[in-house]
A and B are shown apart, each in its own frame.
Chain A
Amino acid sequence: MNTFNKIFCLLFAVLLFASCKKDDPVVVPEDVKFTVPSNFPAPTYSFSSNEITQSGFELGRRLFYDPIFSRDSSISCGDCHISYSAFSHVDHITSHGINGLLGKRNAPAVQNMAWRTSFFWDGGVPLLDLVPLNAIQNPVEMDEVPANVVRKLNRSSVYPAMFKKAFPGLDTISGADMLKALSQFMNMLVSANSRYDHYVRGESGGTLSADELAGLALFKAKCSTCHATDLFTDQSFRNNGILSDFTLDKCRYEVSTFPDDIGKFAVPSLRNVERTPPYMHNGKFKTLEAVLNHYTSGVKDTPSLDPLLKQNGQLGIPLTDIEKQQIIAFLKTLTDESFSTDPRFQHP
């Protein structure tokens, strides 16, 4: 072989290799590893029964963005849980499902799921693995039967091989493995690199302005009982005075059947809150200003109203306009740009 030929061959090989890579739908950096940020508590997910692997994660991501879960193949998890808005449904008061049907609640951010003790606004689901069953079966979300999805997956041309790789020793795709793969993807959705995180961990890039620091102090004093820890939720169910009548959605009561729970909703995390309007379970507020105005002067008094919002017979949390702006400035330090744009989490 002369030199020209040799070079040609090499070039050809490189080209072939490169084009191969381009066609491959799953080009991700090989760094799928779950780590607990030092400012977070211990996770609650039982990783021993579902360890995250590269192939399991990739499979889960593919499933997350695949409309195969909906009855008419029109909608995927990723259509309602959008990466830009920390996997919430930005700008939709309540989320649209198949046939454009409107759900009654706003799609929350899917982030830091591995630390959760329950899921959904009413806490009706205690395990991440079981969450997709609810989304799949909900007539206003995907309106499909999980067993049908498993059948569709088994008939597909790509999934059987992907499942074999992710869960070796398996002949047919099982529902449990489908759920485990989705959990692997969702467990990797950890948001812990906001400016606030760098600040509390004493890392570079963690400088907060005087206003932001004042906001943080106010937040600690006025909000952090409910929006607690660096997860920014104590994961309890509370009524923050959002409505004067809960006839349309009694929320936690519908799960627990205890009358005291009428009007109680899961306290949401406030990470990436700048990116997740509209706010509250019913999408009542479009801006953080409106949220703060709610806490100072909009709180409605109903039997299950949280006592923290009615201290000394006074409704709401007293704050001056400047204090409100400082809290908002602080809340914006919780925006984690690297989370929303992480290439590993995007549509494959």
Chain B
Amino acid sequence: MKNYLFGLLAFALFATVLTSCSKDGDDTTTDLTGTGSVTLEFDHRAGDASLVFGANYRTANGDTVKFSTFNYFVSNFVFVKSDGTEYTVPKDECYFLVKHDDAESREVTISGIPAGDYNEVKFIIGVDSAKSVSPVDQRKGVLDPAAGASGMYWAWNSGYIFVKVEGTSPQAPLNSSTGERTIEYHTGLFGGMTSKTLNNIKEVELHSHDEAAKVRKDTKPHFHIYVDILEMFTSPTNIDVFDNPTSHAGPYSEIVANNYADMFILDHIHN
């Protein structure tokens, strides 16, 4: 009887160790049923440093810049497993406005993802064209143009501002309306509806070769993503803030968008 009890206890202990082990992620649980969530952490950087508003940074062109606004839309998320199968997040749950001065907005959690090991995330910088021309009552929260879409909407060239960067630079010319040496890059344009316009929607694919987000019913994996604001000023084209201190819905926005297309870098995935 005593032995029997001891055996049971030993088994229980063994079982606990086993489960806790798998919880640590050293071993993969085989329970791939149900859904889980993934958190994307957008870690804002300026080159090698963390981004701090008001601090000085140097662009690739050698200009000294200080930032006061850094906002962008990310949307249309797709998670990819190592075997290539994809999970597309339902569209309406998947428009996020990230603002540097709103810490909460820099962490985006997407739930309802089928259990599995995902080593890639794809999304677009901006708001897709279908949403940009959808009826007004299908645009809630940050997308509500009547509420100003948090300052991320152009009424005259109707559409969302995808990326908004504002600040100052001693190398920029004096701006007569602000009285400061302002730099201001508001980039949008989704391609138009019946008549075409410039299309500045950029697709991002972030892939890891050696890590995967283990999405399970009870796990909380993170994609830790660096977003380097200085990338907007370089590759492929160096921006000279004297020549181009501002850019809005004009042709130069294509250069700005091509530059920021690679500002997202996957640092690591942790489970």
Contacts and interface: CB of A to CB of B under 8 A. Distances in A.
Interface in B156-179: 156-158
Nearest to A256: B197
B146 A147 contact: yes
A256 B199 CA distance: 9
19 contacts: A117-B194, A117-B195, A124-B157, A126-B132, A126-B158, A130-B155, A138-B155, A147-B146, A175-B145, A175-B146, A176-B144, A176-B146, A177-B137, A254-B250, A255-B157, A256-B197, A257-B198, A257-B253, A258-B197
Given A124-B158, A134-B155, A180-B136, A175 B144 contact: yes
B17 interface: no
B192 A178 contact: no
Interface residues of A, number: 40
A129 B136 contact: yes
B13 interface: no
**CB-based closest 5 A-B pairs:** A175-B146, A49-B135, A256-B197, A117-B194, A133-B155
Contacts of A258: 196-198
A235 interface: yes
Given A130-B145, A146-B147, A257-B189, A237 B254 contact: no
Interface string B227-265: 000000000000000000000011101100000000000
Nearest to B145: A133
Interface string A143-160: 001110010000000000
A237 B155 CA distance: 20
Interface in A182-215: none
A174 interface: yes
- Contact residue range for chain B? 20 to 34
B249 A126 contact: no
B133 interface: yes
Contacts of B138: 49
B139 interface: yes
Given A125-B156, A138-B155, A254-B249, 13 more contacts: A50-B137, A117-B194, A126-B158, A126-B193, A130-B136, A130-B145, A134-B155, A136-B155, A145-B148, A150-B147, A174-B146, A178-B146, A257-B251
A179 interface: yes
A133 B146 contact: yes
Interface in A238-262: 252, 254-259
A94 B97 CA distance: 38
A54 interface: no
A325 interface: no
A177 B158 CA distance: 18
A174 B135 CA distance: 14
B148 A127 contact: no
Contacts of A311: none
A282 interface: no
Contact of B249 (A180, A252, A255): A255
A122 B197 CA distance: 11
A50 B158 CA distance: 20
B198 A117 contact: no
B146 A125 contact: no
B135 A146 contact: no
A136 B156 CA distance: 10
